[in-house]
Structure 1
Amino acid sequence: MKKLIILILFPALVFAQKTATVKGKITNKFNYPIEGVAISYLNSGTTTDAYGNYEFQIPVRKTVSVTFTHVSYKTLIKKFTARGSRTFNYSPTLTIKSEELEEVIVKNQKKEAQGITEINIKKVEHVVGANAGVESVLMTLPGVSNNNELSTQYNVRGGNFDENLVYVNGIEVYRPFLIRSGQQEGLSFINSHLIQNINFSAGGFQAKYGDKLSSVLDITYRKPKEFGAQVDLSLLGGSATIEGTMLNNNLSAILGVRYRDNSLFVNSKQTEVNFRPNFTDIQTYLSYNINKKLDISFLGNFSLNNYNYKPLTRKTRFGTVANPLELIVFYDGQEKDSYQTLFGALSTDYQVTDDLKVTGTISSFNTQEEEYFDIAAAYNLGEVDTNAGSESFGEVEFSEGIGSQLNHARNDLDALISNIQLKATLKDGNNEWATGIKYQTENIKDRIREWEIIDSLGFSVRPPNHNVPQDQPYTPYEGPIEPFQDIRANNNVDINRLSGFVQFSRKTTLNDHQIWLNGGVRAQSWTVTADGLKAVSHFIFSPRVQFSIKPDWKSDMLFRISGGWYSQPPFYKELRDYNGQVHPEVKAQKSIHLVASNDYSFTMWERPFKLTTELYYKNLSDVNAYSIDNVRIRYRADNITEAYAYGLDVRLNGEFVPGNDSWVSIGYLKTEESINEQGYIARPTDQRLKFGVLFQDYVPNLPNLKAYLNIVYNTGVPGGSPSYADVYQFQNRLNDYKRADLGISYVFADANKTHTTGFLSNFKELSAGLELFNVFDIRNSITNTWVRDVYSKNQYGIPNYMTGRVLNLKLKVKF
């Protein structure tokens, strides 16, 4: 009888012993982890650790009420019913108690009130892209775009690459001058493994930032508190970072080394090449605490980009289904480019009093660039046989155009940019004053030897401005043979700049409405001296204002309006025209910029979300018009153009998946220009529609298996016409840019999954994964190659396609 009872009760006893696991991460509305949350259930309990993580077990087939409590947050009660042995991933967001709400908002919404987007560093670590890093995250934001996955440059609200300010620890950084192709760029200056904070403003920024028209990217490198090391390896290269403290923790140091090889991407393109570009970068940030008031820091960088390119053949099929065409090109020659940059900055922070801080900085940037190439190309443009019953189906059966092209360059550039600056910040209760002065010298030595010869059907094609009548082959042309393009120049330019700013900020309240306002002004004087030309001096004045209000409403709203009269004094590239000649008389471009925006924070699906909407308008004068070829910008070096830009940016971010912040962004832009009062046409950056998604997810029953998705869609921009063409006759647009990158990784160890024994106990973090770039293998084009047809006398624009689908393996280790 006893055996029978045991036999009957045995399944129930076994089942009763089964448990389910509840785990997750508890954060506040700002996505910061909450330590010390008391979790009680079934007369048991636990607490969250320093990272907000928790884990406990509950019995199956029983409803368990779990209470989450914390002294600063509202109590949360959640019921769980487990029907089997499984894992619940529950990552709630606790609401701050009302008595503390005002203080927290004033502290955490200051940057939002300034119109600054703060980007989570974790987004940069996990973003998937051909050039993964800060810039890849920016390109998913509304108003920010780039149609070249091999480039880290970006356009913001109708501006070009040269209109963006980039700071690292308050020091402005620069990029090489001669780079003309995204695949030559290599690595961004910013080493994402060294970053502590990322702030970005797409317009309407304060006077403390420099004199550019479009945006500000403000990066802060961290000061380590303990020893750490990280190694990242992939088929694209690798990086290593080491950090720690010395001298009784008074000296903190961090060093990052990166190496990249773009062969994986180049081999996926339509041109067969012997090509192994490699890029090396070494950065260090040192900070020494002399005493409680005085700190000295050093930021150093060395980078070397070697670009050796030897094209062999190219085959591109285009046209329509009914009339397909094929371009076949055979190459001879090679290109050898080298870009070497050195950067160093020494900075001192002195806390004079609790309210007064003074910072002094000396920095220097040197770039030495060589661009050498001799590439000959012979092409055949033919019709493809579309007769399915033909023996030559799918092959070229008739040649419409035959020709050749020879490109030559021997370009050298050496630029040295040095500056010294002094800044001070004074706080007086709710008021804050900031001021600064900076003196900068720039010396650029530039030697240009560049020409191009085009032969079409045995006849040399004359330059675009060639006005001598010709009727070949019926009437022989007896004039001299001229290169299609021929640029020869020697420039030695010195620019001395003195700039400064002063601004005032105040936080206050009006009838329980929180108000933040800022007003300031920048000024700059500069003199341009070029060999053989008269020195020319200029002066600009740039007032800027910001106003934000957070109404005392039940809905969490924040309204901002900002703007000013922004100016951009010309850099060396903006002084040089299409023929390589320098024009010291070029004035600063000016823009009256207005931005109105709203942040609406709300809860959906019991998770935090925020909707950000911004309207903007720019009225530009004294514009220095330009053309873009890949990432190469060529200016007219005059100020005879007027332009405007307006648009709408919308971004919704929040926890679409519990515990993981993602966002969707949409942007609309229209920008046009009128060159010398000829009428308004689209600017080269007129990208009407932008759609971006940055999404994170994980497998519920396997939370350590994570997925990251990066989607970008941009409508086509002008640029499909020949670079020498009259823009008023050619307003061709490139095709829309569509790209999706997917990353899947498995986390073996991290802060949420620690190990005390075994092999994995040696790592703070260990993960491995796959990255699939251009998931749908969409053929995006960045420029066109123009080929002539002898019969129709037409020119065909053959798209130069970017990278195809590429698979990459990745390993990440932290000690």
Structure 2
Amino acid sequence: MKYNVLGVILVFLSGSLYSQGVVTVDGFIADPAEEKVLSDVLIYLEGSTSAITTNEKGAFSMRFVSEKDTVLVFSRVGYKKATYEIDHAPTDEHLSLNIELVPAVSDLEVVVQSTISHQPGMVVEDMSEIKLLPSVTGNLENILPHIALGVSGGTGGELSSQYNVRGGNYDENLVYVNDFQIYRPQLIRSGQQEGLSFPNPDLVRDITFSSGGFSARYGDKMSSVLDIKYKRPDSAAYSAEVSLLGASAHLEGSKSLGSSRYKKFRYLAGARYRSTSYLLNSLDIKGEYLPKFADVQSYMTYDLSESWQAGVMLNYNRSVFDFQPQTRSTAFGLIDYTLNLSSSFSGAEKDLFETAMAGVSVTYLPPKKKNPFFLKFLASTYSSAESENFDIISTYNLSQIETSIGAENQGEAIALVGEGIQHEYSRNLLLSNVSNFEIKGGLEKNNFSATGKDQSHFLQWGLKFQHEDIRDRLHEWERLDSAGYSLPFSENEVLLNKVFQSRNSISSQRMEAYLMESYNLRNRDRSLWTFEGGVRASYWSLNEELNISPRAQILYRPLGKENNQVWKLAGGLYYQPPFYREFRRLDGSLNQAIKAQKSMHLVLGYSTDFYWERINAKMRFMTEAYYKRLDDLIPYDVNNVRIRYYGDNLAMGQVMGVDFRLNGELVPGAESWINVSFLKAVEKWDGIEHEKLLEGIGNVEKTEFVPRPTDQRVTASVFFQDYLPQNENFKIHLSLNFGSGLPFGTPGDNIQLRNPFRYKIYYRVDAGFSAQLWDKAWISKRPHNPLRFAENAWLSLEVFNLLQVANTASVTWIKAVNNVQYSVKNNLTSRRVNLKLRFEF
């Protein structure tokens, strides 16, 4: 067997383990109780995300390279999962199977969820392999640049769980967990303050992600949707993990209550703790970092009867960031002109981000064989208390250092360029409470024709009411003293460079509704057309604005072909009413007459499956080209992960680009991904004649459009997995990220000549080495193994930033004695090694 190792870092390796054959499996799948064949049954190899489905006659055919014993899985919504074990075949083999699936007695949660989609842009991934990926934060969102289209981590880099999608910012992404909408803290200004995001990877079953053109059933954001489904356990299982960065544990299970076969209680619970002190000590600013992040959450369901199910979700998250800076020394510039910033600090920072969420759902699904429908009721409340407190004085000097080769004073300061004091003070407090109630439903109608043209309708609708209370206290200022003069200078008084101060209390209500219809037309053995149209309506009491947003998409899939092609055309209007930060101006005042930002999406997508004979692997290629027109934009500046909005609808813009994704088992049994994206995101302000820099110092010219802060022209990410030819229990995970520089501008002067500079290119390599220490199947060979108390045990060694690249998160502006400002880079983390031990029971 040959193993092809893809990578920029690794070289090609090849080797032969033992002989193998190509297994072809075909057959039919039926429901014996209803005496009918089953279409759209999902068929895949256990541990792989590549899949096929049965046609309208219940027939299927697939082939794969047999390099080990394999389990074939048959899954369909509303039916119990079936498996079939296939022994390793050293030569070509053909199997014919007739499979009967048994209807699930009570599986309401699965029935009302959308089935796995093969649409371009709707990426569905199982969590079984993702848990082993090397990740600095351990948050689920860090894997999105590898598996989804058009996603990048922005300036927050590896320390942040926030992400940009196709020219949008962090606030333009929807996140759902089991249909509950998830909110994020608002005051976080740097990735190092960020703690644990809401989704707990140990509880997740699968994720679905759309980068644009999503349907009307999803809410009012302009960029993307991350739809997460938690597990629905049928048996008890546990896990525990400990590493140099923290620890986590989870439990899951189910229990029948009483004599009725329907009354079943299922539970999931997880707890996490993380501290990034070890990572943050590699930053340029030296000091005492004491971050402490912890959360606990649970999801429980109870089948009240055959038709009713209740669910409860609970979450509590606490993030504390304590920091006492001491010194900093950063060199920057060119070979012939190098500067060094030396700083000493006094003071400290202490931030607290505390959030809690509780949600209740009730699902009604009557056992109807014809025209099934469902109703789901959801109620939730989200509360957060965010406190940001720092009082830090930085005494700095900026010096030119000698760089001449052979000079006696090489590396020493030869000229003082600037010196001064920067005093930053903040006492910010934000209290948020969001409560909502939602009802949604769906009705399905099928019409199977003897002529071979089958039709199906799926009508969905929803109503939502939301109440919001925001209490904000903003008290923040900055004092600059350069060369003995307080800036801005006054002979009569000491003036502060920046002052933000306000007290705001806002109470408002939102109402949302949607109606959508999905129509499928199947011409047997020839084609499948899907037409989806819908409309959303939203109203916000604060600005009394009513928004109507139609959305539609068309999918075409030719049948009878092995490569499973899908074409997609999608478009619509996407409104984003402000939440809070968007209508708070820079001075802290509120613009209650603000309007929703608007985005028109047009997306053309294509995907296909193909067999790569050279490496004996089934692959999937996916691409989307898109155009977005943006109106009533609220401009903003980004510093690290903090977004500061201007608080008015001042601009319009446009984003265009193309995304590519290739995934498959480059190595049998190990999924790998390659994502590449190109985009251009620009904007223009009303009544402003923008300028752009030309070659040469100070040369500018007029321009109509200027870069948006998210104008990252090229991004690429690769995730590759492999294992030793002689030992599949030792796996290698390689993660590569690349992004061209994001634009930024000079503070206080970033409107006419907007975002003229760019950060340097971001690139990073993380590597993980995982060894399976124990598998319960080994008990007969190793009956006295000290790890026999566990089902599985893994030991992982993670190397973060393998190439030790100094990536930039933000810049600090230093003013010299000649009134020239210098931008000093604030770098992200350097190389670090993490050891992780994981047990599954």
Q: Deviation string for 1:146-176 (max 9, x for gaps)?
A: 1321100000000000000000000100011
Q: Contact (CA 8 Å) 1:24, 1:55: kept in 2 or not?
A: no
Matched with 2:544 is 537
1:572 and 2:580 equivalent?
yes
Q: Deviation string for 1:591-619 (max 9, x for gaps)?
A: 11000000011100232111101000000
1:403 and 2:412 equivalent?
no
Once superposed, what is the RMSD of the aligned Cα atoms? 2.7
Matched with 2:302 is 288
Matched with 2:465 is 439
Q: How far has the Cα of 1:68 moved from its partner?
A: 5.2
Q: Contact (CA 8 Å) 1:672, 1:680: kept in 2 or not?
A: yes
CA distance in 1, matches of 2:278, 2:752: 36
User: Match of 2:210, as an amino acid?
Assistant: S
In the alignment, which of 538, 553, 561 is matched to residue 524 of structure 1?
538
Matched with 2:499 is 486
CA distance in 2, matches of 1:315, 1:55: 61
In the alignment, which of 737, 742, 758 is matched to residue 733 of structure 1?
758
Matched with 1:125 is 131
Q: Deviation string for 1:180-238 (max 9, x for gaps)?
A: 11111111111010011210000000000000000000001112111111001110001
Q: Classify 1:424/1:488 alpha carbon distance in 2 versus 1 (closer, same or farther; 3 Å).
A: same
Q: Deviation string for 1:426-471 (max 9, x for gaps)?
A: 1111110000000000000001110000111111112xxxxxxx7x
Matched with 2:558 is 551
Matched with 2:674 is 664
Q: Contact (CA 8 Å) 1:26, 1:33: kept in 2 or not?
A: no
Q: Contact (CA 8 Å) 2:813, 2:823: kept in 1 or not?
A: yes
Q: Classify 1:562/1:46 alpha carbon distance in 2 versus 1 (closer, same or farther; 3 Å).
A: closer
In the alignment, which of 575, 578, 592 is matched to residue 584 of structure 1?
592
| SS of aligned partner of 1:393 | coil
Q: Deviation string for 1:665-704 (max 9, x for gaps)?
A: 1100101000114331000000000111011111111211
User: Match of 2:478, as an amino acid?
Assistant: E
Number of aligned positions between the proteins: 731
Find the structure with the greater CA-based Rg.
1
Tell me the TM-score normalised to structure 1 length: 0.86
User: Match of 1:696, as an amino acid?
Assistant: Q
Matched with 2:159 is 150
1:172 and 2:181 equivalent?
yes
More moved, 239-248 vs 709-718: 239-248
| SS of aligned partner of 2:128 | helix
1:620 and 2:637 equivalent?
no
Alignment of 1:686-725 (within 5 A): 686-719=711-744, 721-722=746-747, 725=750
Q: Contact (CA 8 Å) 1:25, 1:33: kept in 2 or not?
A: no
| SS of aligned partner of 1:122 | coil
Q: Deviation string for 1:321-355 (max 9, x for gaps)?
A: 22221110100000111011010000000113531
| SS of aligned partner of 1:478 | coil
CA distance in 2, matches of 1:46, 1:641: 59
More moved, 254-263 vs 47-56: 47-56
| SS of aligned partner of 2:729 | strand
1:604 and 2:624 equivalent?
no
User: Match of 2:836, as an amino acid?
Assistant: K
Q: Deviation string for 1:339-393 (max 9, x for gaps)?
A: 1101000000011353110000110000011111100001111111224444432
Q: How far has the Cα of 1:762 moved from its partner?
A: 2.4
Q: Contact (CA 8 Å) 1:113, 1:516: kept in 2 or not?
A: no
Q: Contact (CA 8 Å) 2:24, 2:95: kept in 1 or not?
A: no
1:496 and 2:509 equivalent?
yes
Q: Contact (CA 8 Å) 1:406, 1:454: kept in 2 or not?
A: yes
Q: Contact (CA 8 Å) 2:70, 2:88: kept in 1 or not?
A: no
In the alignment, which of 379, 398, 401 is matched to residue 381 of structure 1?
398
User: Match of 1:417, as an amino acid?
Assistant: V
CA distance in 2, matches of 1:591, 1:630: 25
CA distance in 2, matches of 1:205, 1:753: 46
Matched with 2:795 is 768
Q: How far has the Cα of 1:552 moved from its partner?
A: 4.0
Q: Deviation string for 1:91-129 (max 9, x for gaps)?
A: xxxxxxxxxxxxxxxx99961237411022134212212
- In structure 2, runs of 5+ residues without a counterpart are 1-16, 26-41, 49-60, 74-82, 100-112, 258-262, 447-455, 689-703
Alignment of 1:235-254 (within 5 A): 235-248=244-257, 250-254=264-268
Q: Classify 1:161/1:324 alpha carbon distance in 2 versus 1 (closer, same or farther; 3 Å).
A: same
Q: Deviation string for 1:271-296 (max 9, x for gaps)?
A: 11111101010010010111111000
CA distance in 2, matches of 1:70, 1:34: 22
User: Match of 1:604, as an amino acid?
Assistant: W
CA distance in 1, matches of 2:604, 2:482: 54
Tell me the TM-score normalised to structure 2 length: 0.83
| SS of aligned partner of 2:741 | coil
Alignment of 1:118-517 (within 5 A): 118-140=124-146, 141-146=148-153, 147=155, 148-248=157-257, 250-354=264-368, 355-429=372-446, 430-462=456-488, 477-510=490-523, 512-517=526-531
| SS of aligned partner of 1:405 | strand
| SS of aligned partner of 1:138 | helix
Q: Classify 1:503/1:38 alpha carbon distance in 2 versus 1 (closer, same or farther; 3 Å).
A: closer
| SS of aligned partner of 1:571 | coil
Q: Classify 1:374/1:449 alpha carbon distance in 2 versus 1 (closer, same or farther; 3 Å).
A: same
Q: How far has the Cα of 1:720 moved from its partner?
A: 5.3
- In structure 1, runs of 5+ residues without a counterpart are 1-19, 40-44, 58-63, 74-106, 463-469, 471-476, 529-535
Q: Classify 1:544/1:523 alpha carbon distance in 2 versus 1 (closer, same or farther; 3 Å).
A: same
| SS of aligned partner of 1:302 | strand
CA distance in 1, matches of 2:591, 2:385: 23
Q: Contact (CA 8 Å) 1:418, 1:441: kept in 2 or not?
A: yes
CA distance in 1, matches of 2:267, 2:522: 42
Q: Deviation string for 1:499-532 (max 9, x for gaps)?
A: 100000011125821111110000011112xxxx
User: Match of 2:673, as an amino acid?
Assistant: W
CA distance in 1, matches of 2:98, 2:719: 32
Q: How far has the Cα of 1:33 moved from its partner?
A: 2.8
| SS of aligned partner of 1:136 | helix
